[in-house]
Structure 1
Amino acid sequence: MFPAAFDRYIEVFGGGGWVLFGKPPDPRCMEVYNDYNSNLANLFFCVKKRTGAFLKELGFLPINSRDEFCVIRNFIEKQEFDTRFLQEELELAERNLPPPAYEEMREILQENAEVTDVKRAAAFFKLIRYSYGSGCTSYACQPFDVRKCFAAIWEASHRLADTVIENKDFEALIRQYDRESAFFYCDPPYFETEGHYAVVFAREDHARLRDALAGCKGKWMVSYNDCSFIRELYDGYPITAVSRLNNLAQRYDSGCEYPEVVITNYDPGRQNRPEQLSLFSLWEEAGISGADRAEREEK
């Protein structure tokens, strides 16, 4: 349902980047990932730019616990590490090490306790993986070996190599990147489910998003839950009803589906019909001369 042609692709509410990673990369197309959640934007930036340091910070022990989950969650919420562990380690080192070794150990421990972008990204990634339904609020009560993600993180770093990472309000982002050749994909917090998101998205923000998109020069697509409020809000635009599996409900109700709508400012059926290519047009793209064409036609 995407438009047939665009030279800049902008994910306004990037989230986990499912659509971005599912979209084949195109060197001719500029890509932008944005999310207003600063922890999420920082995570994507560190995966892209600080891959080795990020993997090192994640650690290689496949053990997690409720206590670790709570410490990480407190850190993410307060943006600071729990210093109890640091103080205990310093006291143990001072009692058991000679002065020169203690000074060296003290510098290492204090350096490790310093809050950096990479530490914040690793903590947030663990919080996502260790929480129930990746909601970052409650412990999943299931073991998870973080090492299973390492290969995917390396692949993600390569996929994001030419992607711009932004952390902006959606209205400012749309205004900045809007062009006639731009395509915006928006997957905002669904109406009346905003409480599940870390970033506040009020009722008036849904209308503000509609108004920001209404003034766009480029094309856009929005995915939402199917409800009367959203249908009335986008009345006059093409609305396509779709459904998907309800991931969280699969454990209790296999096959349960969730009704959604896809809203666009273009006809998704007509825009995406590919132009029928001929051998001549393919040859022109490949730079094959007329003489070569005649020879190849004869063969």
Structure 2
Amino acid sequence: MRHNNPSAANCCKPQLCGFGDQQPNQTVAGKLVNKMSKIKSPLRYPGGKSRAIKQILPQIPVNIREYREPFFGGGSVFFAVKQLFGQQIKTYWINDLNYDLYCFWQCAQENIELLVAKITEIKQKYDNGRELFQDLTREDLKLTDFEKAVRFFILNRITFSGTVDSGGYSQAAFTSRFTDSSIARLTQIAPLLASVKITNQDYEELLFAEGKEVFIFLDPPYYSATKSRLYGVRGNLHTNFDHQRFADNMRQCQAKWLITYDDCPEIRNLFNFAHIIEWNLQYGMNNYKQGAAASGRELMIKNY
């Protein structure tokens, strides 16, 4: 179901490829990679790309006016790009179909102080993490958008691997992840979200909206993880993803784009029209039914 609820706003260069024939400034590019980002995403996000920033940044074009991210998730790549490029990129547009996650980012942008205050209040109220988890996952909850934002962050901190509605309670996470410092760090992200367009739409909207010198970074649900149920309520945002439709849309997209995907024959076949780069990623999180995080072969797919 698609949501586009503007009222929710009230809830509260590496060796880079340039557009056209202009060549990237190698010296500046090197400084960007070495600098890296100091402010990280405040979320623990399954399948997030926080460990892959050094591999992804060198693939991003230098001379872009607009940055779009249709599958925002935890936003690790966005935060790195925003800190490195800043106002050199004139427009930032981030999007996610998970409505509760959208509420979190929207409230973090519009009223971070109130968000932090409410989360802090709840943390001080609960000594028993399991009781907190049970209260936040009752089926009869009727929440405002602001309350959904608060709930999402807390569950992200106290569930196994930050899986929120698709995982289970973790005492270890409650003890070590839901800390005063993790809440305080939320205040760092508000300046980076200022003036950013935040939406809750189908990813297709970002592919075909008009714009000049647009670059789109996409981290869709992985093909081989359709049974892992990591995204949305009981994994509905992951298991229902149409990879064929996605590939067809990307073939038609005229903007420059970069996709991160799992390496499997099906994806290689779907994207045989694009440039495919193999690489390895050390996963920071796993399916909550699996064991320790592992290393896996990934693909970066691009049309430039």
Query: Does residue 153 of the first structure (1) align with residue 169 of the second (2)?
Result: no
- The residue correspondences of 1:54-73 to structure 2 (distance < 5 A) are 54-60=115-121, 61=124, 63-73=127-137
The alignment partner of 2:224 has SS state of coil
| Cα displacement (A) at 1:180 | 4.6
| Cα displacement (A) at 1:238 | 0.6
The alignment partner of 1:26 has SS state of helix
The code of the aligned residue for 1:134 comes to G
| Cα displacement (A) at 1:163 | 1.2
1:17 alignment partner in structure 2: 75
Query: CA, structure 1 residues 204+64, in 2 after alignment: closer, same or farther (shift >3 Å)?
Result: closer
The code of the aligned residue for 1:10 comes to R
2:171 alignment partner in structure 1: 141
Partner Cα separation in structure 2 for residue 42 and residue 236 of structure 1:
36
Query: CA, structure 1 residues 235+79, in 2 after alignment: closer, same or farther (shift >3 Å)?
Result: farther
Query: Does residue 8 of the first structure (1) align with residue 41 of the second (2)?
Result: no
1:119 alignment partner in structure 2: 147
Aligned length: 227
| Cα displacement (A) at 1:25 | 4.3
1:111 alignment partner in structure 2: none
Deviation string, structure 1 residues 80-112 (Cα, Å, up to 9, x no partner): 2xxxxxxxxxxxxxxxxxxxxxxxxxxxxxxxx
Deviation string, structure 1 residues 58-83 (Cα, Å, up to 9, x no partner): 024273411211221236xx552xxx
Aligned-residue RMSD, C-alpha: 2.1
Query: TM-score w.r.t. structure 1 length?
Result: 0.70
Contact 1:53 1:118 in 2 (8 A): no
Partner Cα separation in structure 2 for residue 16 and residue 236 of structure 1:
29
Contact 2:100 2:152 in 1 (8 A): yes
- The residue correspondences of 1:1-299 to structure 2 (distance < 5 A) are 1-23=59-81, 24-29=84-89, 30-60=91-121, 61=124, 63-74=127-138, 79-80=141-142, 115-136=143-164, 137-142=167-172, 143-144=175-176, 145-176=178-209, 178-194=210-226, 195-198=229-232, 199-201=236-238, 205-248=242-285, 256-266=294-304
The answer for unaligned runs of 5 or more in structure 2 is: 1-58
Runs of 4+ aligned residues of structure 1 deviating over 6 Å after TM superposition are none
Query: CA, structure 1 residues 233+64, in 2 after alignment: closer, same or farther (shift >3 Å)?
Result: farther
Query: CA, structure 1 residues 156+200, in 2 after alignment: closer, same or farther (shift >3 Å)?
Result: same
Partner Cα separation in structure 1 for residue 212 and residue 303 of structure 2:
12
Contact 1:57 1:118 in 2 (8 A): no
Contact 2:120 2:183 in 1 (8 A): no
Contact 1:180 1:219 in 2 (8 A): no
Query: CA, structure 1 residues 253+146, in 2 after alignment: closer, same or farther (shift >3 Å)?
Result: closer
Query: TM-score w.r.t. structure 2 length?
Result: 0.69
| Cα displacement (A) at 1:203 | 6.8
The alignment partner of 2:63 has SS state of coil
| Cα displacement (A) at 1:213 | 1.7
Partner Cα separation in structure 1 for residue 195 and residue 238 of structure 2:
29
| Cα displacement (A) at 1:265 | 0.2
| Cα displacement (A) at 1:233 | 0.4
- Which has a greater percent of helix? 1
1:106 alignment partner in structure 2: none
- State the identity as a percent: 25
1:292 alignment partner in structure 2: none
Partner Cα separation in structure 2 for residue 156 and residue 10 of structure 1:
18
Contact 2:69 2:95 in 1 (8 A): yes
| Cα displacement (A) at 1:119 | 1.6
Contact 2:99 2:200 in 1 (8 A): yes
Contact 2:214 2:256 in 1 (8 A): yes
Contact 1:35 1:168 in 2 (8 A): yes
